[in-house]
């Protein structure tokens, strides 16, 4: 018996091994669908997830995050740390050593000069680089020799893994992009649509906002990879159609970001043609409270600091009652299924950053919410809506147009009506809501509503930049063209001080402590009401193997390892 | 002899009704439309479930005694949603029709009757006809939604906006038809006779011209009810228009498309309601046209 299982085990091991050493291009063709179509293959000119992820099959960073959120060497042999001397003791510089022998898809060698050029390309102020925040505080990038590059910072950087790490910071080829610096960057269509890269695939044809054709990179560093000879990367449609094309019709092998009703998704998955995969990162669906006054009568001062505080959302009791009245577990079950968990924190991971101080809201308690409001002096009027000093608890609640979000809105509205809060729902097309158009009154930055709902997250595992979103200076307002991430218009000097402290703190335990304190401050002072810790949901065909879902980096991070079952 | 006299005494409207009755499609259309109007108007008094009440334990149910058309993904009753949605859709259809008939007739009569205004008014009509309807509606909704919402509250504000948007963009065909008829009627002998008796323009229009162009106006009116219901559905289908918890037939259809495979009846009910209403109204219009035309009547 033992021998038999041993033999079987060996046989299995061999078959796995034989799969792994299959020849490059031996598995034919693979079809990928992203229902938001890529418009460019240069992530330095677009912050869109679809563009970053599609380009990650072609161009690669020095290091990236694996499925567990750990830094993984990619074009280098090891991650520089203080211990191995790669990061200087004063935390002012980091030195990367490239793996020798890596070639671009045109056959030339990858050198440190390409890395230096990539940094200069993104830091050129005329270029409008979308990823320049990753290069914050970089004072100098220099090539010490052909394979060594040193990045120096103007301040101490306890976390120096911003530049050239992750899918947003891939290395581009100096020879190709040399004439595309600064203001000329967006004009280099041929380069932006067909970058030469070190990744497993090469672009053969790019139709913006439609389809990308790729074939295996003949100079890829692993001679046996990728297993696929060619790729069709299709964009467009909607989430439900994308899911259907993988799970029901089998036209495609991989579909991305399937935010659709879990009942529909599981019904599609029952077809047996594919598998739904999800994994949890840092995405949180949250309600952003407006602490400024969105009254249209204020005109230009609407939803700004000058317009004055919000008539009732500045009352902590109201915000707490609103939060306690929500059944997050039900919201997760109805809208997200296995891809959602109730959360009371805006930082839901990695585990060491997660606070437990706000878990009151995990359990819905309508009676308690009513008591909180009653105690705070909000009395029910004749129509059942609570009011105090002539101020009615009437909320305009906006979000983007998506069936799951509208269901969430309907449920929340019902619960709030049970505690005497009147809610008006509004939904705005996602391209307008997230579009950032200065002239539109409906963008999420303008926040011309009392409460708005959307998801945000941070890539990688370090929340420093993310926590910096809610300092006073990040408030969107007319003077900064409504740019900024502080949608609640939250402004507390104590919070700003902690953000500054976090930036210069090195010890990981201290960083975790500060992040938790910042998270708790945001929750307890009611800048936002977190609802769901959302997973990334994608689907792949049963005929596609090797897929490892990754929420910390591009989902296509290991596309070189994909194979045909 | 007596019989002949009574026949002569029958009123014009009785003749219209007699002719209308012979158009089988129109009669069926009227019965169906009456039933729909009755259900939608009085249904919520008998079927008292709140269309917005969420009973999550009863989600995605098939037809049962408690929910004759089943429930949606949040456990809201489909039948009461259909009734509530019908109220809005029909009200939008009728009000928008009234508005577009008013504009169309006014502009049509003026441009047909007063030669000097004909050119400018007809160019204005051409201009409106050339405008792409849906994008224009989207812009209007974006520009005026907040103002109207502030003035009349969220639901009435959007109602006014949608009705006036549809009304203001659908009067052109009516104006053209009416103008053509007015031009023809204007040259008839009885108008000349009235003119020679010293009839003023206002009286001429109200007494002699308008009654003679009633038939195309009535027909266009019925047809534009149908068009307005479809436009509202299109707006709701695009996720614009009314708030998401405010049911209309178009929105019900839109919300159900994702569940088409899971529970196809959820798409069929609102789709059927829209189709039946539009079809029956169109048949009524068809019958009215035959009945109101004295040359066809009596054959």
Measured distance CA(A421)–CA(A416) in Å, rounded: 5
**Integer Cα distance of A406 and A400 in angstroms:** 8
Could you tell me which of A492, A485, A489 has the C-alpha nearest to residue A467? A485
Taking phi over 0 as left and psi of -120 to 50 as alpha, with beta for the rest, A72 belongs to beta
Task: Provide, rounded to the nearest whole percent, the portion of chain B with pLDDT above 90.
Answer: 22
To the nearest whole Å, the CA of A405 is away from the closest chain B CA by 10
Q: Please state the separation of Cα A501 from the chain's center in Å.
A: 25
User: Hey, what domains does chain A have and what are their CATH numbers?
Assistant: 283-376+387-534 (3.10.105.10)
* A487 vs A539: CA distance, rounded Å: 32
Residues in chain A within 8 Å Cβ distance of B237: none
Contact criterion met (CB < 8 Å) for A264 and B261: yes
Q: What Cα–Cα distance (Å) separates residue B212 from each residue in A63, A122, A321, B183, B296?
A: 82, 74, 66, 11, 15
Q: Is B139 on the interface with A (CB under 8 A)?
A: no
Please report the pLDDT score of residue A565 as a whole number: 84
Task: Give per-residue pLDDT as tens, B147-195.
Answer: 887 788 777 888 888 888 888 888 999 999 999 999 999 888 988 999 8
Q: Choose among A215, A285, A274, A204: nearest CA to A242.
A: A274
Task: Please indicate whether, in this complex, the C-beta atoms of A406 and B243 are within 8 angstroms of each other.
Answer: no
Q: Which of residues A13 and B171 earns the better pLDDT score?
A: B171
Contact check, Cβ <8 Å, B74/A429 = no
Interacting residues of A188 by C-beta distance below 8 A, sequence separation 6+: A177, A179, A180
What is residue B297's predicted lDDT score, i.e. its pLDDT?
A: 65
Residue A127 has pLDDT above 60, yes or no: yes
- Span B81-94, pLDDT tens digits: 999 989 888 998 88
pLDDT recorded at residue A21? 52
Q: What is the pLDDT of residue A20?
A: 46
Q: What pLDDT shows up at residue A258?
A: 86
Chain A contacts in chain B segment 72-131 (CB below 8 A): 73-74, 76
The 3 state secondary structure assigned to B212-270 is HHHHHHHHHHHHHHHHHHHHHHHHHHCCCCCCCCCCCHHHHHHHHHHHCCCCCHHHHHH
Cis previous bond, A144, omega within 30: no
B-chain CB neighbours of A267 within 8 Å are 261-262
The pLDDT of residue A57 is above 90: yes
Q: Which residue has the tokens 């893994």?
A: A161
Look at A296 and B261 and tell me if their CB atoms are within 8 Å: no
Query: Are B73 and A426 in contact (CB < 8 Å)?
Result: no
Would you call A334 and B73 a contact, using CB atoms and an 8 Å cutoff?
A: yes
Mutation target among A403, A408, A413, A432 for the B interface, most CBs of B within 10 A: A403
CA-based nearest distance B246→chain A, Å: 9
Asked if A201 and A185 touch (Cβ cutoff 8 Å), the reply is no
Over 90: is that where the pLDDT of B134 sits? no
For residue A241, the chain B residues in CB contact (below 8 A) are none
What local confidence, expressed as pLDDT, does residue B8 receive? 54
Whether the Cβ atoms of residue A303 and residue A294 lie closer than 8 Å to each other = yes
CB contacts under 8 A, A 266-305 vs B, are 267, 296-297
A55/B contact by beta carbon, under 8 A: no
* A296: chain B residues, CB-CB within 8 Å: 146-147, 150
Measure A400 CA to nearest chain B CA, in Å.
Answer: 10
Beta strand spans in A384-456 (E): 386-388, 391-392, 394-400, 422-428, 451-456
Cα distances (angstroms) measured from residue A356 to each of A244, A529, B8 = 39, 15, 91
Alpha carbons within 13 angstroms on the beta-carbon side of residue A187 total: 9
Q: In whole angstroms, what is the distance from residue B178 CA to residue A440 CA? A: 40
Per-residue pLDDT averaged across A224-240, rounded?
Answer: 88
> Measured between CB atoms, does B239 come within 8 Å of chain A?
yes
**Model pLDDT, residue B9:** 54
- Confidence at residue A62, expressed as pLDDT on a 0 to 100 scale: 94
Note the pLDDT tens digit of each residue in A68-86: 888 899 999 999 988 888 9
Asked if B53's CB is within 8 angstroms of A448's CB, the reply is: no
Look up the ipTM and state it: 0.76
State the pLDDT confidence band at B111, using cuts at 50, 70 and 90: very high
d(C-alpha A196, C-alpha A211), whole Å: 18
pLDDT on residue A56: 93
Nearest by CB: A425 against B76, B245, B259: B245
Nearest C-alpha of chain B: how many angstroms from A410?
7
Residue of A242, A414, A447, A449 to mutate, interface with B, max B Cβ within 10 Å: A414
Question: Residue B74: its chain A contacts at CB < 8 A?
Answer: 334, 407, 410-411
**B58 band by pLDDT with thresholds 50, 70 and 90:** confident
Crossing angle for the helix pair A328-335 and A262-269, nearest 10 degrees? 40
Contact (CB<8Å) A425/B146: no
Task: Please check the confidence at residue A16 and state whether its pLDDT lies above 50.
Answer: no
**pLDDT-derived band at B298, boundaries 50, 70, 90:** low
* Least CB–CB distance from B262: residue in A267, A403, A409: A267
Does the beta carbon of B32 lie under 8 angstroms from any beta carbon of chain A?
no
The rounded mean pLDDT for chain A is 86
The distance of B238 to chain A (nearest Cα, Å) reads: 9
What is the distance between the alpha carbons of residues B208 and B194, in angstroms, rounded to a whole number? 8
Residues of A numbered 219-258 whose beta carbons fall under 8 angstroms of chain B's beta carbons: which are they? 240
pLDDT at A47 (0 to 100)? 64
d(CA A510, CA A504): 11
Query: Higher model confidence: residue A271 or residue A314?
Result: A314
Residue of chain A minimizing CA distance to B261: A264
- Tell me if A261 and B244 make a contact (CB, 8 A cut-off): no
In chain B, which residues have their Cβ closer than 8 Å to the Cβ of A404?
none
B211 touches chain A (CB under 8 A): no
d(CA B7, CA A15): 97
- pLDDT confidence of A10, banded at 50, 70, 90? very low
Residue-by-residue DSSP string for A270-329: TTSSEEEEEEEEEEEEEEEE--B---GGGGGGTTSGGG-B-TTTTSHHHHHHHHHT--HH
Share of chain B above pLDDT 70, in %: 93
Say yes or no: B156 contacts chain A, CB-CB below 8 A.
Answer: no
Lowest mean pLDDT among A45-49, B1-5, B155-159, B198-202: B1-5
- Least Cα distance to A447 among A397, A391, A401 occurs for A397
Mean pLDDT of A99-115: 92
Torsion angle defined by CA atoms of residues A462, A464, A466 and A469, in that order, rounded to the nearest 10 degrees: 180
Residue of chain A whose Cα is closest to the Cα of B245: A410
Q: Note the pLDDT tens digit of each residue in A386-419.
A: 999 889 999 999 998 888 888 899 999 999 999 9
Q: Give the rounded percent of residues in chain A with a pLDDT score beyond 70.
A: 96
pLDDT for the residue numbered A14: 42
Taking the Cβ of residue B152 and every Cβ of chain A, the question of whether any pair is shorter than 8 Å is answered with: no
Q: Would you place residue B15 in the very low, low, confident or very high pLDDT band (cuts 50, 70, 90)?
A: confident
Bridge partners (DSSP) listed for residue A73: A63
- Per-residue pLDDT tens digits for A288-333: 999 999 988 888 888 888 888 999 999 989 999 999 999 999 999 8
Average pLDDT value for residue range B248-275: 85
Render pLDDT for A417-472 as a digit per residue (tens, 0 to 9).
999 999 988 888 777 787 667 777 888 888 999 999 998 877 777 888 788 888 88
User: What pLDDT score does A2 carry?
Assistant: 46
CA dihedral (A56, A61, A67, A70) in degrees, to 10, reads: -170
Token pair recorded at residue A558: 């290991």
Give the residue from A35, A242, A260, A263 with the most B CB atoms within 10 Å of its CB, the best one to mutate: A263
Residue A3 pLDDT > 50? no
Maximum CA extent, chain A: 83
For residue A350, cis peptide bond before it (omega within 30 degrees of 0): yes
Given a contact cutoff of 8 angstroms between Cβ atoms, the answer to whether A219 and A103 are in contact is: yes
Residue-level pLDDT at B239: 59
Check CB contact of A414 with chain B, cutoff 8 Å.
Answer: yes
A198 versus B262: the higher-pLDDT residue is: A198
Q: What is the pLDDT of residue B32?
A: 94
B23 conformational bin, left if phi > 0, alpha if psi -120 to 50, beta if neither: beta
Cβ contacts from A onto B, under 8 A: 61
Confidence bin at B125 (pLDDT 50/70/90): very high
Average of per-residue pLDDT across A462-489? 83
Residue A41 scores a pLDDT above 50 = yes
**Is residue A142 very low, low, confident or very high in pLDDT (cuts 50, 70, 90)?**
very high
A274 has a pLDDT exceeding 70: yes
Which residues, in sequence order, are CB contacts of A437 under 8 Å at separation 6+? A443
* A255: pLDDT strictly greater than 90: yes
Q: Which two tokens stand for residue A448?
A: 């011309």
Q: Looking at the complex, does the CB of residue A440 fall below 8 Å from at least one CB of chain B?
A: yes
B58 touches chain A (CB under 8 A): no
Residue-by-residue DSSP string for A158-193: S----TTBSTTS----HHHHGGG-GGGGGG-HHHHH
């Amino acid at each position: 018996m033992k021998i038999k299982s041993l033999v079987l085990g060996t046989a299995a091991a061999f078959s796995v091994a034989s799969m792994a050493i299959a020849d490059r291009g031996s598995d034919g063709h693979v079809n990928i669908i992203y229902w938001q179509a890529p418009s460019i293959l240069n992530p330095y000119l677009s912050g869109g997830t679809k563009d970053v992820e599609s380009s990650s099959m072609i161009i690669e960073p020095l290091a990236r995050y694996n499925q567990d959120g750990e830094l993984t060497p990619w074009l280098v042999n090891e991650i520089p740390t203080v211990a191995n001397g790669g990061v200087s003791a004063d935390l002012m510089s980091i030195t990367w050593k490239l793996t020798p022998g890596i070639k671009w898809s045109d056959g030339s060698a990858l050198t440190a000069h390409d890395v230096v050029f990539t940094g200069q390309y993104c830091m050129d102020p005329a270029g409008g680089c979308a990823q320049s925040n990753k290069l914050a505080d970089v004072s100098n990038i220099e090539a010490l020799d052909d394979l060594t590059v040193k990045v120096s910072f103007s301040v101490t950087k306890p976390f120096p893994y911003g530049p050239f790490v992750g899918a947003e910071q891939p290395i581009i080829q100096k020879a190709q992009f040399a004439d595309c610096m600064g203001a000329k960057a967006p004009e280099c269509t041929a380069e932006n649509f067909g970058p030469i890269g070190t990744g497993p695939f090469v672009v053969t044809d790019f139709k913006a906002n439609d389809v990308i054709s790729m074939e295996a990179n003949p100079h890829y560093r692993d001679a046996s990879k990728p297993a696929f000879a060619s790729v069709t990367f299709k964009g467009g449609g909607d989430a439900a159609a994308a899911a259907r094309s993988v799970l029901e019709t089998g036209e495609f092998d991989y579909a991305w970001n399937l935010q659709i009703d879990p009942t529909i998704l599981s019904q599609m998955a029952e077809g047996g043609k594919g598998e739904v995969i999800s994994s949890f990162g840092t995405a949180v669906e949250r309600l952003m409270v407006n602490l400024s006054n969105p009254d249209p009568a204020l005109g230009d001062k609407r939803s700004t600091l000058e317009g004055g505080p919000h008539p009732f959302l500045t009352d902590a009791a109201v915000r707490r009652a609103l939060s306690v009245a929500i059944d997050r577990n039900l919201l997760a079950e109805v809208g997200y299924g296995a891809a959602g968990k109730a959360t009371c924190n805006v930082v839901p991971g990695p585990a060491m950053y997660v606070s437990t101080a706000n878990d009151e809201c995990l359990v819905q308690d309508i009676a308690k919410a009513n008591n909180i409001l009653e105690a705070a002096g909000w009395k029910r009027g004749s129509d059942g809506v609570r009011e105090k000093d002539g101020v009615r608890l009437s909320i305009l609640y906006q979000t983007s147009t998506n069936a799951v979000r509208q269901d969430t809105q309907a449920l929340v509205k019902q619960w709030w009506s049970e505690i005497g809060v009147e809610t008006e729902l509004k939904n705005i097309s996602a391209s307008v809501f997230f579009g950032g158009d200065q002239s539109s009154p409906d963008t999420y930055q303008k926040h011309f509503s009392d409460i708005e709902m959307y998801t945000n997250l941070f890539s990688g595992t370090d929340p420093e930049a993310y926590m910096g979103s809610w300092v006073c200076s990040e408030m969107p307002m007319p003077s900064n063209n409504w740019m900024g991430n502080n949608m609640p218009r939250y402004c507390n000097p104590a919070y700003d001080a902690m953000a500054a402290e976090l930036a210069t703190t090195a010890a990981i335990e201290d960083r975790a402590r500060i992040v938790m304190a910042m998270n708790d401050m945001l929750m307890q002072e009611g800048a936002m009401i977190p609802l769901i810790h959302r997973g990334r949901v994608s689907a792949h065909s049963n005929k596609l193997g090797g897929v490892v879902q990754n929420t910390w980096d591009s989902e296509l991070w290991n596309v070189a390892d994909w194979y045909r079952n | 002899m007596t019989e002949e006299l009574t026949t002569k005494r029958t009123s014009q409207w009785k003749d219209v009704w007699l002719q209308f009755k012979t158009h089988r499609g129109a009669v069926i259309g009227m019965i169906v439309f009456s039933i729909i109007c009755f259900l939608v108007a009085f249904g919520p008094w008998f079927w008292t479930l709140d269309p917005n009440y969420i009973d999550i334990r009863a989600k995605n149910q098939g037809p049962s005694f408690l929910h004759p058309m089943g429930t949606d993904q949040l456990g809201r009753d489909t039948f009461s949603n259909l009734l509530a949605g019908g109220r809005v859709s029909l009200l939008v259809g009728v009000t928008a029709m009234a508005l577009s008939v008013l504009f169309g007739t006014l502009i049509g009569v003026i441009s047909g009757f007063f030669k000097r205004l004909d050119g400018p008014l007809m160019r204005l009509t051409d201009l409106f006809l050339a405008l792409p309807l849906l994008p224009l509606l989207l812009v209007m909704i974006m520009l005026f939604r907040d103002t109207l919402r502030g003035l009349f509250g969220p639901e009435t504000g959007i109602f006014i906006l949608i009705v006036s948007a549809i009304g203001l963009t659908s009067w052109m065909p009516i104006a053209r038809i009416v103008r053509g008829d007015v031009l023809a009627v204007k040259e008839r002998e009885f108008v000349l006779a009235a003119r020679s008796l010293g009839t003023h323009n206002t009286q001429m229009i109200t007494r002699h011209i308008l009654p003679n162009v009633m038939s195309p106006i009535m027909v266009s009116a019925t047809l534009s009810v149908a068009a307005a219901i479809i436009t509202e559905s299109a707006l709701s289908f695009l996720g614009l228009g009314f708030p998401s918890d405010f049911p209309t037939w178009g929105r019900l259809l839109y919300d159900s498309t994702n569940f088409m495979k899971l529970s196809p009846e959820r798409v069929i009910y609102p789709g059927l309601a829209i189709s039946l209403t539009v079809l029956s109204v169109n048949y009524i219009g068809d019958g009215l046209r035959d009945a109101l035309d004295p040359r066809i009547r009596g054959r």
